[in-house]
Amino acid sequence: MYLILQPGKVASQTIESSIRSTNETAEVERHHFLSDKMVAEIDHVCGLESSNQPAAYASMIASLRNQMLAAQKARDKIANSDQAVFVLTGFRDPLDFAISAFFQNITLFCPELSFDLHSVEEEAEQVARVFHQEFERFLKRRKYGLRPQSLTEFSLNYKFENQAEWLDRELLGVLGVDAFNALVGASPITRFCQGRYTVLLYRFESLGQSLGELLRQLSLSGEPVIRYQNIGSTKIYGPLYAFFRQHFVPSDSMAEYYYGGRYFQHFYRGFPRLYSSPSHVFSRSTLTRFRRS
């Protein structure tokens, strides 16, 4: 069995598609969560949404409920099986992950965007303002232990979450696998065994070069067949996303949250941060400075 357990935005759909294309009979489970805590949080927010959110959110609520049910089913399946399981979990620069996750549902957070190529700079500034504002609100909810009161807050909590917390809750809390005990170093793939789990941690930034090797380590029959799926650059927001990533400047609190903790220290020791952190935020002057450099 192959369990792709990851928080999202680490090419999990590409990996699943590639496994299935390489071996059509492979048993694959792909989930963002398995923990009781996330199931309870989704159950909570779905109950709220039915009474105080627009009908347009109905499909998103239905998707969350389906994910919740699928996670419960998969967890029972794994617990009641004695077969060996390959567990694949990706890691990524933590702020880059948050930005990518934010853009995945950008129309929920910034519904007025046109994605016009001639408005990329102005819309990037607009997205940056919302990103900074929502991140500070997220920190406030964390500080005071506030539960999400809407689908938007729930979604932002998950997208902004420090990935160390995800690993502790999902990988360690559910499977008993501690990724922080793995000697990652600079390797694109880190493999270790724990009980009946063969765990492969992969570095998202180098996956384009290491995906074939990752597939070869899964004991699949035949040569790896790579199928790329859900690529951000091909979506309607692709040009805006690329510009935003090139020019975004995090606030000091944001840089501390993502780069000051054990996640970055463990998985990216010796690697540079993707985003610099001066004591000012994204502005037109920042754009001008980057264009001139």
Six-digit token pair at 105? 């549902």
Average pLDDT per run of 10 along the chain, which is 293 residues long? 95 96 96 96 82 67 92 95 95 97 94 96 97 98 94 95 97 97 96 96 97 96 89 86 96 95 96 78 41 35
Structure confidence at residue 58 (pLDDT) = 78
* Interatomic CA distance for residues 257 and 176, integer angstroms: 25
* Interatomic CA distance for residues 178 and 159, integer angstroms: 22
Structure confidence at residue 221 (pLDDT) = 87
CB atoms within 10 A of CB 195: 11
CB within 8 Å of 59: residues ≥ 6 apart: none
Contact present, 126 and 276 (Cβ < 8 Å):
no
- What is the edge-to-edge ordering of all strands in the sheet holding 189-194? 28-31, 2-5, 85-91, 197-203, 189-194
